[in-house]
Structure 1
Amino acid sequence: MSRRAPLVLMYHGVDHVPADRDPHAMFVTPQAFRDQVEHLLEEGFVPLSERAYVEGRCSGSLPPRSVLITFDDGYVGVGEHALPVLESFGVPSVLYVPAALVGGCSDWLEPRHRHPLMTGEELRSVDRRGMAVGAHGTDHQDLTRVSGGELRRQTTGARRALGELLGRPVTSFAFPFGSHDARVRTAVRDAGYDTAFAVHEAAGGFAVGRVDVNAIDTMRTFRLKLHRLYPRARRVSGRVPAVRRVVHDLLGRAPRDPGVELAGRAGAR
């Protein structure tokens, strides 16, 4: 399997979360995440850091089978469960967080489905340990629906706030909900970011497509998602949701973790 552009994977949470608290299937179990990282390495994928990804795209010198692992939102379990796995294999990654919700919770979701987000101290720690922190707006709004002034707050303001928190420039951005248009992409570029990530709808270097990995993926579906033709197939099936459901039924779905409540801060918010 050859791949001209790097594979970019998108995760949200890595934790033990029961299905009734995770209806969007965002939380991959720690064991499933470990299995997926091991498989990437066994298949010869070369993990990239944020800097290597940006510099390699500019120079055109990236390995043909390279992968960038990203996480959206900044859930506590990513630091507790995903980072130790990545460290054990020497794999870098990028974590995208909403700047105004640091230390809060995912309050863009329904109350029962909210989960705690990392504190500033936790973000500084993961950033030092190879999980670079990038911007995900300020409070997880759909940026295609905000005014010009608010868009500057969500892009320039988020970059400034996170830069002050981390003590270094923040260089990449991920669109909340994957939503973007030409106006939003321009605002992100003008804010000084080097690149930005979308999900299924790609549009050049400031809306790079990513492959989502979620709680219902089995190793069989995960391997399918690594194929270079998957993003195109996903866009087509996304226009016909029934087709996607049939494919998942044929390939199987991972059993949802009966789980335990997220410890500590989960019940406090």
Structure 2
Amino acid sequence: MSPVTLLRDAPLRTLLGACLPGGGRARLSILIYHRVLATHDPLQPDIPDAALFRRHMHLLARQFRPLPLLEAVRRLREGSLPARAVCVTFDDGYADNAAIALPLLQQSGVPATFFVSTGFLEGGRMFNDTVFEVVRRLPEGTLSPDEVPGLDAPLAIGAGAASRIAAAHALIGAVKYLEPAARQAVVGRLAARVRDLPDDLMMTHAQLRALHAAGMEIGGHTVSHPILTRTPAAVARAEIAGGRAGLEALIDAPVRSFAYPNGKPGADYGPEHVAMVRELGFDCAVVTSHGVSVAATDPYQLARFTPWDRSESRFQLRMLRNSRRLHLAA
């Protein structure tokens, strides 16, 4: 880092240190990503491309103290977390995490934790990705509520990106909370309307092992990414335990952290699932509530948020604003 950069960043680091103190008053920021694309995708504009992710990581390396998640959680409890502490996490297990994100993390010296759903490895595809890829390929027209249960009205598929983005989000919202078999049936019917859907979106076993070999943490994220509140208790427990067992077999190492699928308190997981994760022996778990975690935060409900801003100043402002929101538990 050049002396000019150090001098320019000094006032901001001081401000960040005041908003994100360490020690006994420590506040931990945890960021959540899913994918890093090679180039910008007009149909999914909130997903960072490689250039934007590189800027994010360089900024974190310059102005924050990036730490591995397990170390950060331990030091938060001990009262030894440094000021400006931040963790980077990824959910689901996309192939671009290994192919694109990993080299950029290594270039910036930023560690990360990857929460992987084992059921999609080696050629799987999550339902939301199927929806986006179908909408990308559908001809202009209309989908009716008869075709997609959960739609309130006919859904237009226009030519432009804005129309297709709206359509994809509407479809995901319509089917997301359906019973898994019903959701799969609806998405399967949509997929049958197009050709050449990608089968390489998710990691291979080799890519997962490469992340682990590079020193990145691997965390549990169930087998099939169910919405736990819509899943029978015995099945939910088997999903949580089975996902970890599959990962441990692949990397030959303990898996000690967990991310609740979708992660919204109450809607996607409940107190009974927090108890399961604790009873199964995980060290910590993360959710998708905004805010920062403090020593009093339930370590099985640590806050995370998504920094989607494309400009450095807006990214910094979002980090500062998020630091004001203390997250204790759901």
Match of 2:53 in 1: 33
Residues 1:142 and 2:231 are matched in the alignment: no
Please tell me whether residue 162 in structure 1 is matched to residue 162 in structure 2. no
CA distance, structure 2, for counterparts of residue 154 and residue 201 of structure 1: 25
CA distance in 1, matches of 2:60, 2:225: 30
Mark the CA change 1:105 to 1:18 in structure 2 (over 3 Å): closer, same or farther: farther
Aligned-partner Cα distance in 2 for 1:52–1:106: 32
Give 1:89 shift.
2.1
Q: Which residue of 1 aligns with 2:30?
A: 8
TM-score normalised according to structure 2 size: 0.64
Unaligned runs of 5+ in 1: 234-269
Deviation at 1:130, TM superposition (A): 2.3
Q: How far, CA to CA, are the matches of 2:42 and 2:235 in structure 1?
A: 34
How many residues in Structure 1 have an aligned counterpart in Structure 2? 229
What is the alpha-carbon distance in structure 1 between the residues aligned to residue 275 and residue 318 of structure 2? 29
2:258 to 160, 173, 177: 173
> Match of 1:219, as an amino acid?
E
Distance 2:86 2:52 in 1: 18
Matched, 1:191 2:280: yes
How far has the Cα of 1:9 moved from its partner? 0.6
Answer yes or no: is the 8 Å Cα contact 1:224–1:230 preserved in 2: no
Moved more, 167-176 or 71-80: 71-80
Letter of the 1:32 partner, please give it. Answer: L
Provide the C-alpha distance between the structure 2 equivalents of 1:184 and 1:90, rounded to a whole number of angstroms. Answer: 34
Q: TM-score, normalised by structure 1?
A: 0.78
| Distance change (3 Å), C-alpha of 1:134 and 1:229 | closer
User: Which digits, 9 at most, give the CA deviation of each residue in 1:219-257, with x for residues without a partner?
Assistant: 233112211545739xxxxxxxxxxxxxxxxxxxxxxxx
Residue 83, structure 1, aligned to residue 176, structure 2? no
Three-state SS of the structure 2 residue aligned to 1:176 is coil
In the other structure, the counterpart of 1:67 is 86
Task: Tell me, yes or no, if structure 1 residue 218 matches structure 2 residue 311.
Answer: yes
Aligned to 1:246: none
Q: Match for 1:54: what amino acid? A: V
- SS in structure 1 of the partner of residue 86 of structure 2: strand
CA-CA distance at 1:98 after TM superposition:
0.5
Aligned equivalents of 1:231, 1:154: Cα separation in 2:
35
Deviates more, 1:59-68 or 1:111-120: 111-120
Higher RCO structure (Cα 8 Å, ≥6 apart): 1
Larger radius of gyration between Structure 1 and Structure 2: 2
1:9-65, CA deviations, whole angstroms, 9 ceiling, x for partnerless residues?
111100125232x37x3x21111111111112222x111113312321332211121
Deviations 1:174-195 (A, max 9, x none): 1111132111111111111100
**What residue number does 2:194 align with?**
none
Separation of aligned partners in 2, 1:17 and 1:140: 26
Shift >6 Å, 4+ stretches: none
Give the letter aligned to residue 301 of structure 2.
Answer: A
Tell me how far 1:75 sits from its aligned partner: 1.1
Q: Distance in 2 between matches of 1:201 and 1:32?
A: 21
In 1, Cα distance between the equivalents of 2:248 and 2:73? 18
136-145 or 167-176, larger mean C-alpha shift = 136-145
- Give the letter for the 1:7 counterpart: S
Alpha-carbon distance in structure 2 between the residues aligned to 1:110 and 1:158: 20
User: 1:207 and 1:172 mapped to 2: Cα distance?
Assistant: 11
